[in-house]
Amino acid sequence: MSGESTSERLVELAKRRGYFSQSSGAYGGVGGFYTFGPQGASLKRNLEDAWRERYAVGEGHMEIDAPTIMPEPVFEASGHLDGFDDMLIECPECGASSRADHLVEDNTDYEDAESLPIPEVEGIVAEYELACPECGAGLAGVAVENFNLMFDTNIGPGDAQPGYMRPETAQGIFVEFPRLKEYARNQLPFGVTQIGRAYRNEISPRRSIIRTREFTQAELELFIDPEGDEPDLGAVADVPVTLYPATEQNAEDGGEVETTIGEALEAGTIADAWIAYFLGISREWYEAVGVDMDRFRFRQHLAGERAHYAADCWDAESEIDGNWIEMAGFAHRGDYDLSNHGDHSGERFTVFRQYDEPKTVERATVDPDMSYLGPEFGGDAGAVVAELEALAERDRAAFDGEAVEVDLEGETHEIPVETCGFSVDEETIAGEHITPEVVEPSFGVDRLVYTVLDHAYREDEVDGEERTYLTLDPEVAPTFVGVFPLQNDEELEAVAEDIAADLRAEGMAVTYDDSGAIGRRYRRQDEVGTPFCVTVDYETIEGEGTTVTVRERDSTAQKRLPVAELPETLASLRAGEVDFAGLEG
């Protein structure tokens, strides 16, 4: 086999066999944008469907489909306009842009440069005499700048409204919260999912579909009552996990910890029960779709690494060519998003929490005498009333003296207390408005596609010939079965075409192939990961109790199976109800 890395061979296979390739190739291609070909689009769709089955349908959550362009105020509120930056360093010689934190991490012992302040990163670049990865020019003394990752655009002609391509699908869910809570009948907890595109103007997109500028996320925003909602921990307590907690990353001889979700919660390694729940179900889901559990772990974010909205965060990571890549993030976002959208929009981003029993509370109110405030404050009288109301709620003692002090546009005014109509009354209330907190599993679909392909990639030798094959799980493989006539013969072709049609009618993804030697046709299907091939030969049309040859991809073992039972047998193989080796034939 060649000396290339698995990734290099995989990327070449992906292009040749229609998994993915850089888009707009006819125009020289553009960094960070990829097109999924026929196989890739199908694999990606199957993985998205599997995600939907588990996280939306399986958990009983809703799914929405929101626009990818959103107006500027959304991102003022979400904090992306101010805080969604990466560190940019531009080479003064060739103009190449690089991520300063990546340069530092790739060329020094610093592991978490993203969390360092810019002057410190500039200092490290100078101290280690780091150079431009494109032309080799020294970068010492070059300024590092914050670069906002959002793509901006204009909405409409003329005095256009500024807009941005969403950098995470999550914001499309948060802004719809006032309606979504109605659909959920104001009952917490409830979850909303979305699978869709997100956009980030990455400074240096790299490693094919692992870091791109347009990618697909599958996100679940779970809205919980911080004081009441608990997950079903019994369902995940025994799930085994490899964890790499922050404490281990900070320790000199720290390492990964093999444990179970239940033990990790008890030991406090995972602090939050909901995060623990999602790590548990996700570990099982990743395994089911074909991620190699010997090359998988959950790593906790270090304090400086967390996104601006996250209180705690764990990543699901897969090992690719000796490096760990982040496939998903599991973040506790607290009430950050809903509070900010509530404050910025003026709409209610809260849920009414009903008490078990109505409560009697004291409420301080004002009923100002407008015949005094009107002549005294003119147009500002309304603002004075609003200030008095707010003051009554937050500081009753302010009404103890003879005059109440009110600040209006930087000036303090004294209002005689007898004109305020201040009183404290008892009131019976049924509940209160609370801002739910959010727990968010956020999956990158493109990185999942890459990992599933990389972990399925195999090379071996069959009949003295090198073979490349992908051990894709039958539930996610883009093509489930290849159907071939052994030779170019009208009779064989007609039977093979009928079999292909029958299998398609059963909902199987079928490829019909009648070109080239049979061995080459098998190799083609092996390379795209097709789990089974069916070959129609002369025995099929001449023999009694018509049979075909069925070949299994991984073992290359072949069996003769009755045509009449083919749809049922293949369906059982796909569902994992039977094992090919155990079939009679």
Which CB sits closer to ligand GAP, 446 or 513?
446
Q: Which two tokens stand for residue 496?
A: 């093979």
327, 366, 452, 500: which one contacts ligand GAP (CB under 6 A)? 327
- Site residues for ligand GAP, window 20-49 (CB under 6 A)? none
Closest approach of ligand GAP to the CB of residue 315, in Å: 6
Closest approach of ligand GAP to the CB of residue 477, in Å: 22
104, 121, 170, 528: which one contacts ligand GAP (CB under 6 A)? 170
Closest approach of ligand GAP to the CB of residue 35, in Å: 15
Residues 471, 292 contacting (CB under 8 angstroms): no
54, 61, 99, 447: which one contacts ligand GAP (CB under 6 A)? 447
Beta-carbon-side half-sphere exposure of residue 346 (alpha carbons within 13 Å): 0
What is 532-583 written as a DSSP string? Answer: EEEEE-HHHHHSSS-EEEEEETTT--EEEEEGGGHHHHHHHHHTTSS-GGGS
Q: How distant, in Å, are the alpha carbons of 10, 15, 292, 320 from that of 454?
A: 7, 14, 10, 7
Does 215 contact ligand GAP by CB under 6 A? yes
- Compute φ and ψ for 445, nearest 5 degrees: -75, -40
Closest approach of ligand GAP to the CB of residue 168, in Å: 4
Task: Tell me the C-alpha distance between 466 and 523, whole Å.
Answer: 10
22, 46, 98, 212: which one contacts ligand GAP (CB under 6 A)? 212
Closest approach of ligand GAP to the CB of residue 211, in Å: 5
In the DSSP assignment, the letter for residue 143 is P
What is 60-74 written as a DSSP string? Answer: T-EE----SEEEHHH
Which CB sits closer to ligand GAP, 84 or 422?
84
Closest approach of ligand GAP to the CB of residue 253, in Å: 28
Residue 581 CB partners (closer than 8 Å, separation 6+): 555, 557
In sequence order, the β-bridge partners of residue 373 are none
Closest approach of ligand GAP to the CB of residue 228, in Å: 24
Total of chain residues touching ligand GAP, rule CB under 6 A:
18
Does 173 contact ligand GAP by CB under 6 A? no
189, 196, 290, 329: which one contacts ligand GAP (CB under 6 A)? 329
236, 328, 388, 508: which one contacts ligand GAP (CB under 6 A)? 328
Q: Which x/- pattern, by CB under 6 A, does the window 285-324 give for ligand GAP?
A: ----------------------------------------
Closest approach of ligand GAP to the CB of residue 187, in Å: 24
Specify burial of residue 466 (Cβ count, 10 A radius: 0-12, 13-18, 19+).
exposed
Which contiguous run of DSSP H or E holds residue 519?
helix 518-528
Residue 302: how many other CB atoms lie within 10 Å: 15
Which CB sits closer to ligand GAP, 86 or 526?
86
Does 223 contact ligand GAP by CB under 6 A? no
Angle among Cα 567, 572, 577 to the nearest 5 degrees reads 170
Task: Tell me the C-alpha distance between 228 and 226, whole Å.
Answer: 6
The residue number whose beta carbon is nearest to ligand GAP equals: 444
Q: Which x/- pattern, by CB under 6 A, does the window 413-442 give for ligand GAP?
A: ---------------------------x-x
Which CB sits closer to ligand GAP, 108 or 339?
339
Residues 496, 533 contacting (CB under 8 angstroms): no
Give the footprint of ligand GAP on this chain (CB under 6 A).
168, 170, 200, 202, 211-212, 215, 217, 219, 326-329, 440, 442, 444, 446-447
